[in-house]
Amino acid sequence: MEYTITSMYDGGYNKGVFNQTRSTLQSVSLPETLTNIGSYAFYNCSGLTSITIPSSITSFGDSAFRDCNSLTGNLVIPEGVTSTGDWVFCNCSSLTGVTLPSTLTSIGYRAFDSCSGIASIIIPEGVTSIGQRTFYNCSSLESVTLPSTLQSIDSYVFYGCSKLASITIPEGVTSIGSSAFDGCSSLKSVTLPSTLKSIDDHAFDSCSGLISIIIPEGVTSIGQRTFYNCSSLESVTLPSTLQSIDSYVFYGCSKLASVTIPEGVTSIGSSTFSGCSSLESVTLPSTLTSISIYAFEDCSNLTSIIIPSNVTSISAYAFRNCSLATIYIDSSTIANGITNSSSCGYLTANATTLYIKDTITVTTAPSGWVVDSASSDQVDGYVKYIKA
């Protein structure tokens, strides 16, 4: 008697079809009549080295091949499959490649998580979403091609892909999820689309090979620690649409030499530029009202700064361990006590020259400062003061 097999049992954790033989099973031949491979079907079949997926397959259950860490070669997912299950090939660490079908529209959560042998992947046109942690810790992944149909990049998608050297994010993508490229230490080139609106927390955290980044017009927010410890970052272009810069965004970007913060930004988050030891030039917008704790701490090459007139709050340690010798400041800011070292983040701790613009009447000089009577230096309404 012959049986036509069309579907594999959709089991649960430790209840897959080959659960009892998972340590000894080495190869499987699947029939062309099969259309579905159920959940956990080959889960933890640690001895399985090869499998050919028949062209009749249209769907995979969750974790179908999860932890098949001896499965080798290039895996071909047949035409007709529109989505992969969650965790479907997670921790198949010996796979060297994957060919995805043109019919695919979505890739499930952690589908290829820790497939540490895969060197390149082409995601076909038609895919609109990639699930969280899809290529998490694919440590050999060097090349990724993303389709023009993609709309978003979810959280942790390429986290820990330490050999990924470049990425072009296609037009149409509006958001990059948290930690999407976190730990991609070889990433040197990133092209962001003009459709991008937001970059979430840690998106490019510890991308220590990244040299420059242009954030396109339209982006209104940059999440916490987005470029944290990008130690090779030398140049950044911020868009005029930006409204806020969150905490730790450029923390530890030790090669960043200059930055212009655009008009419209009202606050700089805590430790935003802390540890940017090469930072020599900072342009602050007239819309700025507050500078948070540790914002420019340890910017040891920063020797001068212009504080805009709308700034009413500079938090503790904002300029600690900077080399600020020359400061331009408004008299209205002076009236708020901002030159007091204990309340102004060490702004004037190392200053030798203070330029004050008299937008309100200053009846007495700031404590410890006097007008430089030997100098007629007055530029754009600023009066020169020196230490008493």
Instruction: Please tell me which residue, 87 or 379, carries the higher pLDDT value.
Output: 87
- Is residue 68 predicted with pLDDT exceeding 90? yes
Q: pTM higher than 0.85, yes or no?
A: yes
**Is residue 66 predicted with pLDDT exceeding 90?**
yes
pLDDT, residue 370, reads 85
For residue 77, pLDDT beyond 50 = yes
Whole-number pLDDT of residue 31: 87
pLDDT value of position 333: 74
- Residue 336's pLDDT is 64
CA pseudo-torsion sign 94, 97, 103, 106: positive
pLDDT at 287: 96
Residue 5, pLDDT > 50, answer no
Non-local CB neighbours of 292 within 8 Å, separated by 6+ positions:
247, 267, 268, 269, 270, 271, 272, 315, 318
Percent of the chain having pLDDT more than 70? 87
Question: Quick one: pLDDT band at residue 19, thresholds 50, 70, 90?
Answer: low
- pLDDT confidence bin for 8, thresholds 50/70/90: low
**Beta carbons within 8 Å of 318's beta carbon, 6+ residues apart:** 291, 292, 293, 294, 295, 296, 297, 344, 345, 346, 347
CA pair distance 298, 367, nearest whole angstrom: 25
Q: What is the pLDDT of residue 15?
A: 52
Residue 385 has pLDDT above 60, yes or no: yes
Which residues, at least 6 apart from 211, have a Cβ–Cβ distance to it below 8 Å? 188, 189, 232, 233, 234, 235
- Poorest-confidence range of 6-10, 181-185, 274-278, 293-297? 6-10
Q: What are 269's two structure tokens?
A: 């988050």
Partners of residue 83 on adjacent β-strands: 106
- Rounded distance, CA 334 to CA 357, Å? 10
pLDDT band at 376 (very low <50, low <70, confident <90, very high): low
pLDDT value at 4 more than 50: no
| Rounded Cα distance, 51 and 120, in Å | 20
Cα–Cα distance, 303 to 291 (Å, whole number): 17
Stretch 363-367: mean pLDDT = 65
Region 50-57 average pLDDT: 91
For residues 97-123, one letter each, b for 16 or more C-beta atoms within 10 angstroms of the residue's C-beta and e for the rest, the string is ebebbeebeebbbbbbbbbbbbeebeb
What pLDDT score was predicted for residue 196?
Answer: 95
Give the residue-averaged pLDDT of 265-286: 96
* Closest-CA residue to 264 (of 218, 232, 301, 226): 218
pLDDT category of residue 349 using cuts at 50, 70 and 90? confident
At 2, the pLDDT band (50, 70, 90 cuts) reads very low
